[in-house]
Amino acid sequence: MKTLLPFLALYRRHSFLMALGILLAIVTLLASISLLSLSGWFLAASSLAGIAGLYSFNYMLPAAGVRGAAIFRTAGRYAERLVSHDATFRVLAHLRVFTFTRLLPLSPGAIARFQKAELLNRLVADVDTLDHLYLRVISPLITALVVIVVVTLGLGYLDLRLALTLGGIMLGLLVLLPVVFYRAGQPIGRDLTQLRAEYRTQLHSWLQGQAELVIFGEQARSRQQLDAIEQNWLDRQQQQAKLSGLSQALMIAASGLTLCLLLWLAAGGIGSLPAPGALLALFVFTPLAAFEALGPVAGAFQHLGQVIASAGRVSQIIDQQPTVTFPGEGAPLTKQASIRLQDVSFSYPLQPLAVLKGIDLTLTTGEKVALLGKTGCGKSTLIQLMTRAWDPQQGSILLNDQPLANYAESTLRSMMTILSQRVHVFNSTLRDNLLLAAPDSSDDRLAEVLRQVELQSLLEDQGLNAWLGEGGRQLSGGEQRRLGLARALLHDAPLWILDEPTEGLDAETERHILSLLETHCQHKTLLLVTHRLAGLNKMDRICVMEEGQIVEQGQPAELLARQGHYAGLYTKTLMMQGGEANAQL
C-alpha cells in the first residue's frame, strides 16, 4: 500500500472535483434509497387506508416525495457521472504529466535497460490503471460509509433496534469484504499486470522482428510463445471475472438474509407500535436499496492488487536517479560557441567494448567541420555526449572553455541546434510542430522557413492549420526530414550539430539544403555528421571516424592527397556513382 502514497498525494490538486463527485454519489444513492423505500411505504399505506383514506390519508405529500426523490436520483446520477469522470480524466492527465516529467530526465541512461515496448506499456497502460484508485476504490468506500451512517440514523427515529441491526450488518460487510476480496484478488491482479506487460512486449518484438524470424525459421515458435502468454492472460482474466461474480453473489445473499432477519425482527412491532403496519414495507425496501451502496465495494478491492502492481511498475522507473544532472544556474548564455573534446572515451552500460576511444576534437568559433564515417563507428554516440545525453567515462568536453556539466540544461539547449537522424512529427497542426523550436515565432516567419526548405506545398489548403497526423503519416520521409530542418532554422543557436541532414533527399533537394545551410551557418559553429560526400568541399575541415577513433582529419584536398581513409571512401563512392561524386565534391 505504501507504493500508492506518492500517487495519492497528486490527488490533492483535484480534491474539490473528487469531493464533489463523492458528494453527488452520496446524494444519488440516498435519493435512490428514499425513492424505493418511500414508494413501498406509500403503496402499503395506501392499500391499508383504502377508500376511507380519501378523507383521512395525505396522498399528496408522499407522492411529492416520490417525485422529488426520482428527480434527485436522475439529476444526481447524471451530475455524479459527469463530475466523477471529469475528475478522473484530470487526475489521469496529471498522472501522465507527472510520470513523463519524472521519466524525461532519466533518458537515456537510467532507462536504457528497459525495452521501448516495456516503457510504453508502463507509461500508458500502468498509468491508466492508476485511475481505478478513485473511481473503484476511494469513491465507493467513502460513499458506502456515509450512506450506512445516514440510513442507520434515519431508521433510528422509527426503531433503533432494527436500524442498528441493518447498520451493523452493512458496516461489518464494508469492513470484511474489502479485506477478503483484496487478498483473493491480489495475486490475480499482480499476474494480470505482469502478463499484460509480457504480452505487449512480446507482440512488439514479434511484429518488429518478422524478417529475422522468417529467415531463421523461428516464426512459428515465437508465435507459440505469444499464444501461451495470451492464454495465461485470458485464464487470469476469467478467474478475476469469477471472483467478481462471487462478490456479487455474496452481496445478493447478504441482502436477502438481512431482509429476512429484519422481517422477523419487525414482525413483533416497529418502535412503539405493536403491529408493524405499513412501516414494514419501509424496512423491507430500505435494505434492498441500501445494499446498492455496498455493491461496488467488494468488486473494487479485488482490482486493488492490479492497481498496486501497476503503481510499483511505474515507481520502479520514476524513482531512479538520473545518470546526468544539471545545475540550477551555471555558465552564461553566449551568442558564440566553441567546443573541445579532450581524450574522450565512452562505453554503454553492460557493454564490454568501448564505443569511443580517446577522441580529441576541437571546433573553434565559426568553424565548419564534417564528421565522416561508416554506420556504427560512433558518430551518433559522440553527438549524445556533446548534448549531455550521457557523460563520458574518461576525458572532458568543454563548451566555450567551460565543462558541459557547468551549464544549466536550458542554457545548454539554447546554445545548440540539433537535427537528429529521426525527426518526430507530433499528432498536431503544422504550426504546433514548428513552434516547438521557437514558440514566439509569427505565422509569417513559419511560412518563410517552410519555403526555405521547399515545403511550401504544405501551406496549401489549410496552411499552418493542416493536421499532420500521428507520426506525420501524411508526410513522406524527405518531407519529415525537411520539417526537422525547418525547426532547426527557427532555433537560432550559435552551435549547430546536424546528424545526416540530407538523408532520404533527392540530389537536387540535397544541393538546395546544403546551400541553405551554408548561407545560414556563415557565422555559426557547425558539426555535420554524415556518411555522404556531397558538399564536403565547403567544410573547413573533415574528420574521419573508424571504430570509435578519429583516424584522419584535414581539408578535403589535403586528405585526398594523403591517399588515406578519406581518399579510399572518395574513390569507392566515385566508382559507385559514376562520376557524380566528383561533381559534388
Alpha-carbon gap, residue 245 to 137, rounded angstroms: 18
577 or 494, higher pLDDT: 494
Q: What pLDDT shows up at residue 82?
A: 93
pLDDT, one tens digit per residue, over 562-581 is 777 777 777 776 666 554 44
Residue 232: band (very low, low, confident or very high) from pLDDT cuts 50, 70, 90: very high
* CA dist 552 → 141, 369, 562, 581 (Å): 71, 13, 10, 20
Nine-digit cell string for 249 = 453473489
pTM: 0.74
Q: What pLDDT shows up at residue 452?
A: 86
Q: Do the bridges between strand 495-499 and strand 525-530 make them parallel or antiparallel, or are there none, so unpaired?
A: parallel
User: In this structure, what DSSP letter does residue 549 have?
Assistant: E
pLDDT, one tens digit per residue, over 316-339 is 888 888 888 888 787 888 888 899
Instruction: Tell me the three state secondary structure of residue 57.
Output: coil
- Amino acid in the structure at residue 262: L
Residues 361/497, Cβ–Cβ less than 8 Å: no
Nine-digit cell string for 395 = 576525458
| pLDDT of 372 strictly over 60 | yes
* CA dist 122 → 115, 117, 136 (Å): 11, 9, 20
Q: What pLDDT shows up at residue 340?
A: 92
Q: What pLDDT shows up at residue 200?
A: 87
**CA dihedral sign of residues 502, 504, 510, 513:** negative
Alpha-carbon gap, residue 260 to 288, rounded angstroms: 11
Nine-digit cell string for 71 = 428527480
- Highest-scoring range by mean pLDDT, 15-29, 109-123, 469-483, 531-545: 15-29
**CA dihedral sign of residues 501, 503, 505, 511:** positive
CA atoms within 13 A on the CB side of 287: 27
Residues 553-566 as b or e (16 or more Cβ within 10 Å = b): bbebeebeeeeebb
Average pLDDT score, the chain:
84
Domains, the chain: 2-318 (1.20.1560.10), 424-492 (3.40.50.300)
Radius of gyration of the chain (CA): 35
Minimum mean pLDDT range among 96-110, 271-285, 401-415, 511-525: 271-285
Residue 51: band (very low, low, confident or very high) from pLDDT cuts 50, 70, 90: low
425 or 132, higher pLDDT: 425
Compute the average pLDDT of residues 18-30. 92
pLDDT, one tens digit per residue, over 194-211 is 898 889 888 888 888 888
Q: Helix axis angle, 295-302 relative to 304-318, nearest 10°?
A: 40
